[in-house]
Structure formats: structure tokens, C-alpha cells
Structure 1
Amino acid sequence: MAACKRVQQWNTFGRVWHLYDATWQNPFQSAQKIVKYLKGLHKPIYHPLNDCGDHVVVINSKDIALPGDEWRQRVYFHHTGYPGGATWTLAWQLHDKDPTMILKKAIYTAMDGNLQRRYTMQRLHIYPDDNIPEKIKQNITNQIRPLRPVPKRLDHYAPEEVEQFPKVMDWPKDYILR
């Protein structure tokens, strides 16, 4: 095999490290997108019996956004394996305990039917904020585009920008707020 072809084959089967920012993203829709990279579905060489998935680094998992009333209504089940070891935890309580767990459980569930998902999950690295260890930062070569754009918060605008924003109406000078 020629040296050029050998390098091409190494690049084809090499694992790439992807970065995904979960700020204001729905974890269940994000999970569907992340699973494609973990399994290697985005690669032309994908085959169900071939383990060609990549590593995915997820940052800002503490800033996820559940749709609707999911923070109060979604319940997560856990069983220790002992009698009376069943617990049901609300989503907001689980997120307070471990900000990475909701996204991790969503990705694990999205890989339903994958017999290798326990090993595939080892290539997933989730961090609650944007502090990533240097060894992992050096490996990242690609970024996964977020599902929806993150809007700019009002407290991040400069006072000049707020003043220049068009107003619908001006309050009268003698108006009293109650």
C-alpha cells in the first residue's frame, strides 16, 4: 500500500473530537444530533457493525432549556437494585444535583437499540460550564452547530444600544407606576 493511501486510510478511520455548546438548547433534540456523531452516522464509511464514532465534548450543560413545563413535570427514575431502592426525581432537582445528568440521560436514551451504547457513551464528555481540561481542548478539531441561535440577554447590551432601540410609545411625564 502506498504511503499516501495509508495516510488517507488513517484519516478515514481516525476519531475526530467535536465540540457542542448546549447553551439554551433542548437536550432531547440535541441528543439526536450528538448521537449521530457518537455512532459515526455522519461518516460515509458507517456500518452498524463498524465502531467508527467520534468523541463529542459538550459544554455549558447547566444552561440547557427544557421545553414548556418540563422542569416541573418530567420525572427521572432510578433504582439501586435493593428492595425499596426506587426513587423518582424531578428534572429541576436532578439538574441541581448534577447539571450534566439530564443531557447524559437524554443521549443514552436516544441511542436506544444500540448494543454498544455503554462503550459509545465513553466517548461523550459533558461539562457543566466552559472549563475544559487542556488535554481535551488540544484534541478538539470540529464544532457541531447548535440547533437554535442563542439570543443576546438584555443585561449584555450596552446602555447606548438600549437607548437607541425603537420605542413603541413614551410614557407621559406625569404617569405614576403602581
Structure 2
Amino acid sequence: MSVVKRVQQWATFARIWHVYDAAWQDPFQSAQLIKKYLMGLYKPIYHPMNDCGDHVIVINTNEIAMPEEEWKKRAYFHHTGYPGGASWTLAWELHSKDPKLILKKAVYKSMAGNLQRRHTMERLHLFADENVPADLMKNVSNQIRQLRPMPKRLDHYTEEEVKSFPKLIDYPKDYILK
């Protein structure tokens, strides 16, 4: 076997570490993307009974964005296992308790039918902000591109950018703003 083929084979079977920024991203669409890397669906050696997935570090889970009224309408079920232990928690309440739980539950649900999803979830590392331990970040070799571009806030534009922005309308000099 040539050296090139040997390296290619090693890279195919190796576990790669990816980082994903969840700021301003829909957790349910992000879960589908993260699942692809956790399970190794993009690898040519993928098989449902083959554990060839990678590690994924997700940062900024406290800044996820849900569509429309999902924060108020989506409820998550939990049961303690004891009689009367069933509870429903709204998404905004769950997110305020633990900002990592919504994305964790979305990724777990996206892998329905995967017989190894409990073991696969061990390779998912969630962080509420950008503070990731250095020993984890030294393993990262790939960045997963965000699904939606993150918008730039108005207070982050410089004065030059604001002045050079094309005007839609020029108000007359005698115009009075109310």
C-alpha cells in the first residue's frame, strides 16, 4: 500500500473534531447538520452498525434562535419515573434553566432510529458561550459552516459605514420629524 493510500485510509477511520457556532441558528435545522458529523454520515465507510462518527463542539448555545412563536408554544416533556412525575416545560423556561438542553434534545431526537444514539451523544460537547476548555480546542481541526449568516447588529457598524450606506430617500430641508 502506498503512503498516500495509507494516509487516506487513516483519515477515513480517524475521529475528527469539529466546532459549530450555534449563535442565531435554528436548533432543529442545526441538529440535522450536527447529526451528519456525529454519526459519520458523510464518510464513505458509513454503515448504521458502524461507529465511525466524529466529535462536535457546539458553542454559543445560549444564543439560539427559534422561528416565530416557538419559544412560547413549544413544550418539552419530562417524567421522573415516579407516579405524578410528568411535567411539561415551555422552551423559554427550559432555555433559561439550562441553555444547552434545547439543542441537546433536538440532536437526540434527530437521530431517531439510530441504535447507538446514546453512545453517539457522548461525542457531542455543548457550551453555552465561547469558553471552551483548551484541551478540547486543541483537538479541533474543522469548522462546520453555519446554516444562516449571522446578521450584524446596528451598533456594530462604524460611522463611515453608516455614512457611506446608500440613501433611499432625501428629505426636503423644511421637513419636520415628529
TM-score band by shorter chain is over 0.9
Q: Is 1:62 paired with 2:99?
A: no
The question of 1:85 aligning with 2:96 is answered no
Distance 2:29 2:87 in 1: 26
1:176 is displaced (CA, Å) by 4.4
**Structure 2 counterpart of 1:124, which letter?**
L
User: How far did residue 4 of structure 1 move?
Assistant: 6.7
2:87 is aligned with what amino acid?
Answer: T
The question of 1:22 aligning with 2:16 is answered: no
Residues 1-178 of structure 1: matches in 2 within 5 Å? 7-169=7-169, 170=171, 175-177=176-178
For 1:57, give the aligned amino acid. I
Q: Separation in 2 of the partners of 1:100 and 1:171?
A: 51
For 2:67, what is the secondary structure of its paired residue? coil
* Amino acid aligned to 2:145: R
SS of alignment partner, residue 120 of structure 2: helix
- CA displacement, residues 48-69 of structure 1 (integer Å, 9 cap, x when unaligned): 1110000000011111110111
Q: Percent identity over the alignment?
A: 64
Query: Which runs of 5 or more residues in structure 2 are unaligned?
Result: none
Name the Cα RMSD after superposition. 1.8
CA distance in 1, matches of 2:172, 2:26: 38
> Following TM superposition, by how much is the alpha carbon of 1:160 offset from its aligned partner in structure 2, in angstroms?
2.4
1:144-165: CA deviation from partner (whole Å, max 9, x where unpaired): 1111111111011012222222
CA distance in 1, matches of 2:37, 2:172: 53
The structural deviation recorded for 1:46 is 0.6
C-alpha distance after superposition, 1:48-107 (max 9, x if no partner): 111000000001111111011101110011111111111111111111111111000000
Unaligned runs of 5+ in 1: none
* Equivalent-residue separation in structure 1 for 2:159 and 2:89 (angstroms): 42
Report the secondary structure of 1:151's partner residue. coil
Give 1:5 shift: 5.6
- Give secondary structure in 2 for the equivalent of 1:93: helix
Partner secondary structure for residue 65 of structure 1: coil
